[in-house]
Amino acid sequence: MSQCEAKRGLFTLYDCTKEANRTCAECGRTVCNEHMSISQSTCYECQAKSTAEIDDPHLHAYRLRQVMMTKHKGQSIHFGTALSEYYDLYDISSFDIKLAKITDMADSPDELFFDS
Amino acid sequence: MLKDVNNNIRHVIYPLLEVLSLEVGHKQPVAMRINFNKPLSLEDVTEVHGENTGGRNTDKSSFYVYKVLDFYTTFLDNSRLHINVIDNIRKRSRANPRGKIKQKIKLKRRIIISLSFDKTLYQLSPDYNGTSSSIVKTSISDNSIKMRTMIKQTAGDSVAELPMVELLKTIKSFYQYLTIEAQAT
């Protein structure tokens, strides 16, 4: 299976590192379960572009990202490779830096978190 | 007995977690301290002026500091976000000559947002001269660039909803003062 073609992130964009196991009926990209609802045939990013009313709390986040990336002031950043034409409308600058190089997901700064 | 939750939790905190889940790693913890106490409780009182001692002088002002929310998480790019929401409430009460008590409540909310960026990845933009935006305070340490700003919200009562979209727009605006040294593709 190939890698999911959807992007993660809200203020910045990243390649999704999960394996793709479904195909979006709208854009034809292969995406993972995180980027496509089980009950829908289109991915969250395509649903966010449409104005159709869909009752899914997760979709709200993608709709907000769509607005933030296209309408709000300030260019966003994409870390990773192959930013496809799908994201042409986004105001974004792309950098060839892999996520693994800049962060260690398991290394959380525990000492900064609250005691509880 | 079942009790309804605060509207800020239903309309702001839960959607905020949903939205931020896009930017936060799968295994990254989120630390949050929400104050479930009712506003204007005795434990939040910081000052009382003009205690009612009887007679004609019946004006009384009570000041409360209500710590609504303390939120902390780390983004995928190792930036550390801290949101702190504090309500400063003033309650004034006055009895008229017939003994009827009237009270006014004034709320000033401060939302302090700070984001620390990993200095190995980001640098301050050459265009940023420190005064680009008087509301964003920047401090640079050996390994991080910290940006901090405050949103002020004034409302008539203490149940005002947190401005989630403005909060997200503010976080995004921090990124416009930064550059990345790596070659753009």
Q: pLDDT tens, A12-53?
A: 888 888 889 999 999 999 999 889 888 888 999 999 888 877
CB contact under 8 A, B18 and A57: yes
pLDDT mean across residues, chain B = 82
CB atoms A81 and B185 under 8 Å:
yes
Whether pLDDT at B129 is above 80: no
pLDDT, average across residues B46-51: 77
Helix (H, G, I), strand (E, B) or coil at A54: coil
| Structure-block tokens of residue B182 | 């790596």
d(CA B68, CA B162): 10
pLDDT of residue B158: 52
Contact call for residues A43 and A21 (beta carbons, < 8 A): no
Widest CA span of chain A, in angstroms? 47
A-chain CB neighbours of B75 within 8 Å are 11-12
User: How many other CB atoms sit within 10 Å of the CB of residue B37?
Assistant: 13
Write out the residues of chain A at the interface with chain B, using a CB-CB cutoff of 8 A.
Answer: 8-12, 14, 57-58, 60-62, 64-65, 68, 72-77, 79, 81, 83, 93-97, 99, 102-103, 105-106, 108-109, 112-114, 116
CB atoms B75 and A11 under 8 Å = yes
Mean per-residue pLDDT for B130-137? 65
Q: Suggest the residue from A69, A99, A103 to mutate for an interface test with chain B (most B CBs closer than 10 A).
A: A103
Contact present, B168 and B141 (Cβ < 8 Å): no
Taking alpha carbons only, the member of A114, A11, A62, A25 closest to residue B122 is A11
DSSP B14-30: HHHHHHHTTTB-TT--E
- Give B100's pLDDT tier (boundaries 50, 70, 90): confident
| Phi then psi dihedrals of residue A95, to 5 deg | -125, 135
The model carries a pTM of 0.81
Which DSSP helix (H) or strand (E) runs through B73?
strand B60-74
Give the residue carrying structure tokens 């002026």: B49
- B109 neighbors B150 (Cβ within 8 angstroms): no
Q: How far is A62 from chain B (nearest CA, A)?
A: 8
Task: Please give the pLDDT value at position A101.
Answer: 55
* 3-state SS assignment for residue A57: helix
Lowest mean pLDDT among A4-13, A31-40, B1-10, B71-80: B1-10
Structure tokens at B56: 């004609």
Contact of B10 with chain A, judged by CB distance below 8 Å, is answered with no
Q: Given pLDDT bands bounded at 50, 70 and 90, which one contains residue B121?
A: confident
Give residue A110's pLDDT.
Answer: 46
